[in-house]
Amino acid sequence: MALPALWMAAIVYACELTILSIGFTLTYLTAKIPNFAYGTMSGIGIYSVYMASRIFKVSPYYGFPVGTLLGGVFSVLVYLLIVKVLASMGGGAIVLTIATLAIQIFLQAALYIYAYWVRSIWKLYTIGFLLKTRDFVFLETPGILYVSLITSILVIVGLHYMLNKTKIGIAMRATTESIELASILGINTDRIQLYSWFITGCLAGLAGSMVPMWFMSSPLTASGMQTSVMAGSLIGGFTNMYGAIIGGFSIGFLEIILTYYLQMIFGAWVGEYRPIIPMAVLVIILLVEPQGLQGLYHRFMATKTGEGILKSLGRGE
Amino acid sequence: MLDLIGNLAAVSGNARLIVDIAMYFGLFVIIAMSINFQYGNAGVPNMGCAVQVIVGGFTVSAITTRLCFWIVKQAGVELLPYASDFDWVYNNQINVSVLTNAYLKENPMLCFTLMLFTLALALILGSLIGWVIAVPAIRLRATYLMVTLITMADASQIIGRNVPWISGGTLGMFVPNVFAFYPGDRTVIMAVITLFIGLVSFFIFRTMLNSPYGRLMRSIRENEITVGSVGKNVVSIRRNILMFASGITAISGSLLAFYFSFVVEANYQRAMWTYWPWLMLIMGGPGNNAGTFLGTTLIVALRRIIIVYKWVFDKFFFFPIAYFERLLLGILLLIVMIFRPNGLIPEKLLYIPGINYRQLVREEVPVDWRAAPKASSKGGGGFMSRLRGKEES
């Protein structure tokens, strides 16, 4: 009952993109900037899994928590050393966005240098590797399928619980609405920002850890996912976590399944144009509905049918 | 530089480095000035300069080369077939380097015409692509514009890689040498021309910035809502700025293609043509051209020296020097943004030629303060109450 490799790849990739899109949206909510370094931050996860598997010779899954934590630590450092400093100096959205681009360039180069360092010491292939063979097999299916599905569901449920039920989560939502008002109510917005950067970094590291279990990985893989992540987040409207879940999953699925079937129809040359799919989605959404699913939802709920549905759910005015 | 023009032998050694730095300075100063025009003066964050540069390159490979082949064929030179994609790439080297360049060598006027035609075409196509890439996001927030423009650069490279009739796909292709008649080294005269075009575009940008339109641009940067409220169409002004600057950026792509006499999409990477010019701009200080010149000079000299003396650095590092360069780019950008947020040369107040500022300051404005209306001492006393008082009396 083994799943075809195509669907495996689609599901694993969609799970990764879901987690990344949630994180990207959370950063956009708290810092009000698109974090261009976000895709590259998952490279930290990729290389911690690599280290666990190839250098320490243990199951690659030991690298997951390490990658998650390292991603969080890096994200906190980025916030404390750069974003907070620039924001306190009065840097606007554009300046902060350029700063994240600079971080992306820096981090990608650092990952490459790290890969070359590992290569020069342990004499291993570090650029372009695959850890498929080190995965466990359960019911004739590679373990990463279960791990990725369960992890992404856990992340979604956990974040939902945290944002709606815990004190920190509610404070976080208040901070995303308005920093000034939240601080008037006695919320330490600085610390809340720190927490949210930590969480987003953790999510990036976690999503990155899953990549080498099924896909060929190099430092470029991580930054290559950036466009897809942004497209997934944009489908959800950039400011809605639940929209980002749908967006990330659909973009991941679309990218692999659509490329495959287009290749079946038109020939192998379509495969080269795969990175264009998220770009096309991005452009189409910006042209049609810049608010994404959230805008569609608001528009639908403003119609008569929408109002009727809301009333039947007991939420109407 | 001037000695090198007269020198007809092939350029080598340190002279080569000087020519290289001059050429890249010319190219990057054009791009950095156009970013300065867009971001420093109008607040349009054009993160897609690589798209416009690549369009300039493709203009040379896809249009000028075909036109040149057609002209040469009309003149009676037997060219190898170049109609199909395969022939276009496979016969390209003989068609260009042997047959076309030999004909161009005897027709200097044709060379000049071709070059000017290419530059004009690059200007038009660059503006067109500026309009196209502005469509999705120019109405939205600036960050949306950045998101789309950054992704476009990759898209253009993918298209260039996979459509052979544009620039020969991954193999790249040779383009006609428009200085075939010049007996010395082509690169020297190319560098001179690039510097000259850089100078011309500097004057064009300066004139634009000092015109009423330039002041309008600055006002959009400061507060677009205010500008919109006095009846200016902010979106169309932003689009015009993006289109104009895109055209000028595309020229530098064509110049690069002529410099190498070769076009391949890998020469037009996003990092090279977007991030480095942005570093130059931010380092020098956005909003003034002097800062742009300083930033470009520093960064170009640094980079070319690193690249030329790569073999020295490679002895010390265990990784390719290219990644060290990227690391340097990221760190420099962050350091400059944190420690010199206004750049090395901060922006100065706009100076408009033709207006005597000294006289304006010195001139005493005849105001008789005793005649000016006094604020009423009874409560309120604002502007409105004064108006009302006048109405009553």
* Residue A32 domain flag: yes
- B111: which 2 tokens? 């060379």
Q: Identify whether the C-beta of residue A38 lies closer than 8 Å to the C-beta of residue A207.
A: no
DSSP B61: I
Q: Say whether residue A288 is in contact with chain B using an 8 A CB cutoff.
A: no
A86 touches chain B (CB under 8 A): yes
A73 pLDDT exceeds 90?
Answer: yes
User: Which pLDDT score is estimated for B197?
Assistant: 92
Q: Do A120 and B282 touch (CB under 8 A)?
A: no
Residue A141 φ then ψ, to 5°: -120, 135
CB contact under 8 A, B326 and A94: no
Instruction: Dump the DSSP string for B246-276.
Output: HHHHHHHHHHHHHHHTEE-GGGS-HIIIIIH
Q: Summarize pLDDT for A200-247 with one digit per residue, the tens.
A: 999 999 999 988 888 888 888 888 888 888 888 888 887 888 888 988
Q: What is the pTM of this model?
A: 0.84
Pairing between β-strand B173-174 and β-strand A141-142 as defined by DSSP bridges: unpaired
Per cent of chain A over pLDDT 90 is: 12
Question: Closest approach of chain A CAs to the CA of B7, in angstroms?
Answer: 41
Residue A30 lies in a domain: yes
Instruction: Name A203's Cβ contacts closer than 8 Å, sequence gap at least 6.
Output: A19, A20, A22, A23, A26, A71, A155
Q: Is the Cβ of A290 closer than 8 Å to some Cβ of chain B? A: yes
- CB of A105 within 8 Å of a chain B CB? The answer is yes
Q: CB distance from A108 to chain B under 8 Å? A: yes
Say yes or no for a CB contact (<8 Å) between B319 and A273: no
The CA distance from B249 to B309, in Å, is 29
Residues of chain A neighbouring B329 (CB-CB closer than 8 A) = 102, 105-106, 109
- Which residues does chain A have within 8 Å of residue B135's beta carbon, measured at their own beta carbons? 287
Instruction: Quote ipTM for the complex.
Output: 0.83
Report, as an integer, the average pLDDT of A282-291.
83
In one-letter notation, the amino acid at residue A79 is Y
Query: CB-based contact (8 Å) between A247 and chain B?
Result: no
**Residue A89 forms part of a structural domain:** yes
Q: What was the pLDDT predicted at B308?
A: 80
What parts of chain B have a pLDDT lower than 70?
A: 1-12, 349-355, 360-361, 363-393
Chain A touched by B276 (CB under 8 Å): no
Strand partners, B262: B174
Name the residue with tokens 């002279």.
Answer: B15
Q: What is the mean pLDDT of chain A?
A: 85
pLDDT of residue A75: 92
Q: Answer yes or no: do B334 and A230 touch at CB < 8 A.
A: no
Q: For every residue of chain A, which 3-state class applies, written as one string?
A: CCCCHHHHHHHHHHHHHHHHHHHHHHHHHHHCCCCCCHHHHHHHHHHHHHHHHHHCCCCHHHHHHHHHHHHHHHHHHHHHHHHHHHHHCCCCHHHHHHHHHHHHHHHHHHHHHHHHHHHHHHCCCCCCECCHHHCCEECCEEHHHHHHHHHHHHHHHHHHHHHHHCHHHHHHHHHHHCHHHHHHCCCCHHHHHHHHHHHHHHHHHHHHHHHHHHCCECHHHHHHCHHHHHHHHHHCCCCCHHHHHHHHHHHHHHHHHHHHHHHHHHCHHHHHHCCHHHHHHHHHHHHHCCCHHHHHHHHHHHCHHHHHHHHHCCCCC
Is the Cβ pair B326, A108 closer than 8 Å? yes
Give a yes or no: residue A251 inside a domain.
Answer: yes
Residues 362-381 of B with CB under 8 A from A: none
Q: How far is A41 from chain B (nearest CA, A)?
A: 15
- Would residue A205 count as lying in a domain? yes
Number of domains in chain A: 1
A-contacting residues in B 336-355 (Cβ below 8 Å): 337-338, 341
How far off is chain A from B291, nearest CA to CA, in Å? 18
Which of chain B's residues have a Cβ under 8 Å away from the Cβ of A34?
143, 146-147
Q: Do B338 and A230 touch (CB under 8 A)?
A: no
Least confident window among A47-56, A112-121, B78-87: B78-87
A19 in a structural domain: yes
Nearest chain A residue to B338, by CA: A86
Give B-chain residues touching A94 at CB under 8 angstroms.
Answer: 39, 43, 45, 142-143, 146
**What is the distance between the alpha carbons of residues A227 and A17, in angstroms, rounded to a whole number?**
11
For residues B108-143, one letter each, b for 16 or more C-beta atoms within 10 angstroms of the residue's C-beta and e for the rest, the string is: eebbeebbeebbebbbebbbebbeebbebbbeeebb
Q: How far B257 CA lies from chain A's nearest CA (Å)?
A: 25
With respect to residue A193, please indicate whether it lies within any of the assigned structural domains.
yes
In a domain, A317, yes or no: no
Measured between beta carbons, which residues in chain B are less than 8 angstroms from residue A269? 162
Domain of residue A252 covers: 5-312
Return the CATH number at A299. 1.10.3470
To test the contact with chain B by mutation, choose from A40, A112, A289 the residue with the greatest count of B C-beta atoms within 10 A, namely: A112
How many whole angstroms from its chain centre is CA B275? 12
Q: What sign does the dihedral A106-A109-A111-A113 (CA atoms) show? A: negative
Scan for tokens 């020069």, then name that residue.
A120
Chain B residues touching residue A230 (CB < 8 angstroms): 147, 151
Residue B182 in 3-state DSSP? coil
Q: How far apart, in whole angstroms, are the C-alpha atoms of residue B92 and residue B264?
A: 13
Contact B323 A109 (CB under 8 A): yes
Tell me phi and psi for residue B137, to 5 degrees.
-125, 5
Q: Is the pLDDT of residue A134 over 80?
A: no
Residue whose C-alpha is closest to residue A97's, from B333, B129, B134, B342: B333
Check CB contact under 8 Å for A272 and B338: no
Mean pLDDT of A166-181: 86
If you count residue pairs, one on A and one on B, with CB atoms under 8 Å apart, how many are there?
Answer: 121
pLDDT for residue A152 is more than 70: yes
